[in-house]
Amino acid sequence: MELYFLGTNAGVPSLERNVTSVALRMLEERRSFWLFDCGEGTQHQILRSPLKLSKLEKIFITHLHGDHLFGLPGLISSRAYQGGEDPLTIYGPRGLKQYIHTSLELSESHISYSLDIVEHDGGVLFEDDSFRVEASLLEHRVASYGYRITEKDLPGKLDTATMESYGIRPGPLYGKLKRGESVEAPDGRILHASEVQGKPKKGRIITILGDTRPCGSVLPLARDADVLVHESTFLHEMKDTAHTYFHSTARQAAEAAREAGAKRLFLTHLSSRYKYEDQIMQLEREAQEIFPDAVIAREHVLYGIERTSGS
């Protein structure tokens, strides 16, 4: 899994940064990627990235402010022209369905693939054998959600030497043992999965928050996350402004990461007032004073999400 930031600016695009969008690339896990928010210009950013719209499987919208969803109509319309034929599911707050349907209807856009729009009020939104996605309401001027993506634990490595001693060769019996089942060896002996299966590989947790000021929902969403993506609109010297406009400072994002026991923190949704590199690094340094593993999210950089050592 990897994160790829397509937009990290707050409110409006700037010459340095586009408005909010981040991709979670899961080529090994699902042969697809998921998109979190879709600010204006996101499809142009994707064209300049290693991502392919044909591989886009799901979009999660945090809230209905323009800098987080104005890119949706164009991206939805263009996806088929870039090979996107598989179904696409979009999750977001109530009102999202009306926005998308009205945009597509008035522009007479015709979608050739299956489009499913799921409006929600939080809770578990998606779950299969590999992943679980849940959402919680944050504290912003409109309903804004944070998403917690949990990769389920993977089976441990099989002890092939022991299986060979039972006369078991690669094939269907391997699959049964990996699923935790017992099998009968060619000589009639029973081999239990617990005898040959190593410790499960712990799944990763990624938390991606929408716009918010500090609130009680952040901690459970970010608890023990391998990666936390947190808005950091202002330096802490502007904490009163941040509170008034329902945003967070870099320091507050770092405090949330530390309290939640997260492993890495990406700072995004930066105010346009921070144009120059020394200003950007000031935001990063402020966060690192509280949480050393905090970095500014850079656009068009692929960030690997490694498994925790020993997991």
pTM of the model: 0.90
Share of the chain above pLDDT 90, in %: 79
Query: Which residue type, as a one-letter code, is found at position 291?
Result: F
Residue 309 has a pLDDT of 52
C-alpha triplet 192, 193, 196: angle, nearest 5°: 100
Query: Which residue type, as a one-letter code, is found at position 211?
Result: D
67 appears as a binding residue in the annotation: yes
230 appears as a binding residue in the annotation: no
Confidence check: pLDDT of 310 > 80: no
Question: b/e for 234-246, b at 16 or more Cβ within 10 A?
Answer: bbbebbeebbebb
The DSSP-derived string for 217-271 is THHHHHTT-SEEEEE--B-GGGHHHHHHTT--BHHHHHHHHHHHT-S-EEEE-B-
For the stretch 129-185, pLDDT in tens is 999 999 999 999 999 999 999 999 887 788 888 888 888 888 888 878 877 889 888
211 appears as a binding residue in the annotation: yes
For the stretch 17-56, pLDDT in tens is 999 999 999 999 999 999 999 999 999 999 999 999 999 9
| One domain, residues 234 and 127 | yes
68 appears as a binding residue in the annotation: yes
| One domain, residues 121 and 224 | yes
269 appears as a binding residue in the annotation: yes
| One domain, residues 233 and 290 | yes
Confidence check: pLDDT of 12 > 90: yes
| One domain, residues 44 and 56 | yes
* Contact of 4 with 51, CB cutoff 8 Å: yes
Residue 180 has a pLDDT of 80
86 appears as a binding residue in the annotation: no
Residues forming beta bridges with residue 31, ordered by sequence position: none
| One domain, residues 44 and 98 | yes
For the stretch 215-242, pLDDT in tens is 999 999 999 999 999 999 999 999 999 9
* Contact of 262 with 254, CB cutoff 8 Å: no
* Contact of 259 with 249, CB cutoff 8 Å: no
| One domain, residues 174 and 212 | no
For the stretch 61-114, pLDDT in tens is 999 999 999 999 999 999 988 888 999 999 999 999 999 999 999 999 989 999
120 appears as a binding residue in the annotation: no
- Enclosing domain of residue 167: 160-196
Q: Nearest CA to 251 among 11, 217, 259? A: 259
H/E stretch holding 209 reads strand 205-209
Positions marked catalytic? 67
Residue 156 has a pLDDT of 77
| One domain, residues 102 and 136 | yes
Domain CATH code at residue 244: 3.60.15.10
